[in-house]
Amino acid sequence: MAMGIGTALRMLRKRKGWTLKQVADVVGLSIPSLSEWEKDRVKSLDTEKLQAFSDLYQVQVWEIFRIAAGHAADNRRFVLEEPAVSDYLVSDPPDVAELILLIRQMAPAQSSSLLKTLKLFMG
């Protein structure tokens, strides 16, 4: 399975040292639903939930996309090699074209969903 938003969310949660229950309670998901998010098994990304994750983890939504795209481009297996989230964060927002290029490096199933969600956030 391609690395996607779920991998980024899991990395951010683990960086904070939080449990699934702690995050699920704050974001308004059940533990099984949050687990589905983290396993990249949700069929469409809910923009309100993405914003809730963004607020909780104190990162911008675009940073979640960048972590997901960067992790996928690195072709790392999360279980075997866990990079620091800071490997993918930068102080300046990426150029939209740069972010789209990163997303397009992902598997088609993940990239199409991310591109649709990115369009919603870009207005």
- Give the model's pLDDT for residue 82: 47
| Domain coverage including residue 20 | 5-122
Q: What is the CATH number of the domain that holds 48?
A: 1.10.260.40
C-alpha to C-alpha distance for 44 and 1, rounded to whole angstroms: 16
Residue 108 has what pLDDT? Answer: 64
Q: How many domains would you assign to the chain?
A: 1
Over the chain (123 residues), what is each successive 10-residue block's mean pLDDT? 74 92 95 93 84 91 79 47 49 62 64 66 60
Q: What share of the chain is helix, strand, coil (3-state, %, to 5)?
A: 65, 0, 35
Classify residue 36 as exposed, middle or buried by CB count within 10 Å of its CB (0-12, 13-18, 19+). middle
For residues 14 and 11, what is the distance between their CA atoms, to the nearest angstrom?
5
d(C-alpha 5, C-alpha 106), whole Å: 11
The pTM for the full model equals: 0.62
